[in-house]
Amino acid sequence: MVFWRISHRSANRATAGAGRKAELRILRGLLIFSLTDIVIGWYNKINFGFVRGFVMKKFIAAALVFVLIVSMLGCTSIPPTRGTVTDGVYTNTYFGLSYIIPDGWRALSDEEYQARFSYALPTNEELAEFQSEFRDVCIVDTDDETDYFMIISYSMLFEKGSSDQQIKNKLAFVAPTLIFGQINTFKIGDNSYSIATGTSEDGTVTTYYFWSKEMIGDFRPLIWVTLPSTETIDDVLAGFSTFTPEV
């Protein structure tokens, strides 16, 4: 199933990305500390006089330590967190997104999700090092939990500044069996979203991809829903609302 392949690839990218991120932080710290020793050693060889040399060395050391601290702080950001489902309402306070689950639909537990897709949803601790896309919740139609469902995810695969067409092209690449139509726009609360529709080759199932035009932190909300082609997306979209995120 194409949806499984997307997140399976994302999980592999996330593991590799987390390792690269840690390596870069270590290398940056080692580089700055090395520069500190080099500069202080250079000034030690210059005859400034005792007082002037002492002051200059202390000043340079303090300046480089300040650069190190600023650099380390610049590498950190508030990591995303998983949403929750309470009394039939999905809410993610980090992304400021909420969804009222309609009658006849239900959210899978993390255990049910793992049993169905053969891999686990990430924990909040794992999200601190995530570098790709993660799924937050899977909501299924109780009449047909296999074919008709909704995935709410948050992606780093579509960089800031990506056009709607670029995003649609990437979606078409990972879902080659779907026939995509044109892109439309709509609003969830005050936030602008774009939506692209893909139809199965036999015309019986329609997949709706919609994504936020704005990034939240390093992530872009990305949601997809599969429905019978005889149904519209309007009732699904009506359940979404937004609020100020905690980023």
Residue 16 clears pLDDT 90, i.e. is over it: no
DSSP-assigned letter for residue 144:
-
CA-closest candidate to residue 156, choices 4, 16, 2, 1 = 16
For residue 58, pLDDT over 90 is answered with no
Mean pLDDT (the chain) is 81
Closest by alpha carbon to 207, among 188, 170, 187, 181?
A: 181
Verdict on whether the full-model pTM lies above 0.75: no
Q: What are phi and psi of 221, to 5 degrees?
A: -55, 130
Band (17; pLDDT cuts 50, 70, 90): very low
Residue of higher predicted confidence among 126 and 36: 126
Please tell me the least confidently modeled range out of 16-30, 132-146, 159-173: 16-30
Alpha helix locations (H) across 45-174? 50-74, 110-117, 124-127, 164-174
pLDDT of residue 246: 74
Count CA atoms closer than 13 A to 131's CA, side-chain side: 12
DSSP state of 121: P
Given a contact cutoff of 8 angstroms between Cβ atoms, the answer to whether 185 and 195 are in contact is yes
Q: Phi first, then psi: what are they for 109, rounded to 5°?
A: -70, 165
Q: Within 13 Å and on the Cβ side, how many CA atoms surround 129? A: 17
What is the predicted pLDDT for the residue at 213? 95
Architecture of domain 78-242: 3-Layer(aba) Sandwich (3.40)
Statement: residue 69 has pLDDT above 80: no
pLDDT in tens, 197-247: 999 999 999 999 999 999 998 899 999 999 999 999 999 999 999 999 876
pLDDT grade for 26, boundaries at 50, 70 and 90: low
pLDDT of amino acid 164: 96
Both tokens of 171, joined, read 């979606």
